[in-house]
Amino acid sequence: MTNTLKYNLKHAVLAAFFFAVAAVGSCTKEIDIEIPESAKKIVVEGSIENNVPPVVILTRSQRIFDNININEIGAYFVRGAQVSVRGSDGTETELVELCLQNLNLPPEQAEVLLNALGFTTVDSGNIPNVCVYTVPDILSYFLTGTCSFMGKERTSYDLRVMAPGFDVGDDSILVTSTTYIPTAIGMDSLGFKEHTNPAYRDSFVGCYAYITVPDTFGNFVRYWTQRNDEPQYKPRSQSVWDDKLFVGLSLGLPLERGQPRTEEFDINTYTYFRRGDTITVKWSNIDSKTYDFFYTLENDGGDSPFSSPVLIKTNINNGLGIWAGYATKKYKAIAPW
């Protein structure tokens, strides 16, 4: 929903700018612009990971000039869908709908659950009614680390969604996708380097992933970082890498400290960790379609109307978004004093 809105808004703002310039230049001619309405679509944000159950979020895309009420964000989730996941190993599961409003959890527990499901919360006193589709025994996974259906390496997973139509009387909408969990190659180790600016070396260090890239093409990675007890965050700039320039090499790559968008940006400490921080890195091997989605999403030219728009590549049939498979390993280290 957000990415479609951002992409279309760039075109709208850019067009409005040039028409405004033309109007100022002549001041004599009125120009009417008729912008066609885009069709609403199902937006999928789903993932399955080795030793982790599938989680699927379904929302509706919004037209450019639709009114979006941030206080009623729960209204944009697709409710009452039939969602199933089938593995190439013959396993299959029907996912169930889980909405926070129906769990009656205290705000603190709801925030913990949201973070575990991949959401970032700003105000624990105003938790939105988030709805996801996941396995029926998801509570068992959070309590024991295991449940009835979890992802496996070197396995393909088909997603099938039968969602209700947008309006009364609409036909149901069938959305499908396939993803692959490759082998979890991981990294060799985590390491640290001093801050490039001597004025900050007493307090901050850079974190590096030391890796050996396989000697065959087609290896893709996505990563997140976590500092101490904070939630895990993806980097602000780019979370995915490919192996085009590094096939067969051993090297150290700088890791950007993930942080929430609400955190104040400081050019001197951006990407760095404080000395003494406990750092956890989630390092996931992904397939090419998952890489293409996040690469195009994170390199869409930013929020300026003068940037070049990029078409977001999706692996969703009859919808938008991503169904992603992750082969994950986690690494932990303490930034040296």
Q: Check residue 5 and give left, alpha or beta (phi > 0: left; psi -120 to 50: alpha).
A: alpha
Contact between 279 and 190 under an 8 Å Cβ cutoff? The reply is yes
Count the alpha carbons within 13 Å of 105 in the hemisphere toward its beta carbon: 20
List, in order, residues 6 or more apart from 29 with CB less than 8 Å away: 23
Q: How confident is the model over 17-34, as a mean pLDDT?
A: 42
Q: What percent of the chain has pLDDT over 90?
A: 61
How far, in Å, are 19, 154, 303, 324 from residue 37 at the CA level?
20, 42, 22, 29
Checking if the pLDDT of 175 tops 90, the result is yes
Phi, then psi, of 301 in degrees rounded to 5: 95, 5
Count Cβ atoms within 10 A of the Cβ of residue 197 and give its class: 0-12 exposed, 13-18 middle, 19 or more buried: exposed
Q: Single out the residue of 135, 168, 173, 114 nearest to residue 320, CA to CA.
A: 173
- The answer to whether residue 39 scores a pLDDT higher than 90 is no
Length of the chain: 337
Q: What is the reported pTM?
A: 0.82
Q: Are 44 and 175 in contact (CB under 8 A)?
A: yes
pLDDT at 73: 66
Higher pLDDT, 269 or 74: 269
Render pLDDT for 209-259 as a digit per residue (tens, 0 to 9). 999 999 999 999 999 999 999 989 999 889 999 998 899 999 999 999 998
pLDDT of residue 19: 34
Alpha-carbon torsion, ordered 195, 200, 202, 204, to 10 deg: -50
**What is the model's pLDDT at position 311?**
87
Starting at the earlier edge strand, list the strands of the sheet with 42-49. Answer: 173-181, 155-163, 82-87, 92-99, 131-134, 52-60, 42-49, 320-334, 278-286, 220-227, 240-241
Q: What is the pLDDT of residues 292-302, one digit of tens each?
A: 999 999 987 65
Q: What is the pLDDT of residue 17?
A: 30
pLDDT value at residue 37? 54
Mean pLDDT value across the chain:
83
253-278 confidence digits (pLDDT tens): 999 999 887 888 899 999 999 999 99
Reply yes or no on whether the pLDDT at 325 is more than 80: yes
Digit-coded pLDDT (tens) for 111-156: 777 777 766 665 555 667 788 999 999 989 988 999 999 999 999 9
The pLDDT of residue 125: 57
Please say if the pLDDT value at position 110 is more than 70.
yes
**Contact assessment for residue 217 and residue 247, using Cβ atoms and an 8 Å cutoff:** yes
Is the per-residue pLDDT at 36 higher than 60?
A: no
Alpha carbon distance 279, 256 (integer Å)? 12
Q: Which residue has the tokens 């700039």?
A: 237
The pLDDT score that the predictor gives to residue 301 is 60
What the block records as the tokens of 115 is 């973070």
In this structure, are strands 320-334 and 42-49 parallel, antiparallel, or unpaired? parallel
pLDDT-derived band at 308 (thresholds 50, 70, 90) equals: low
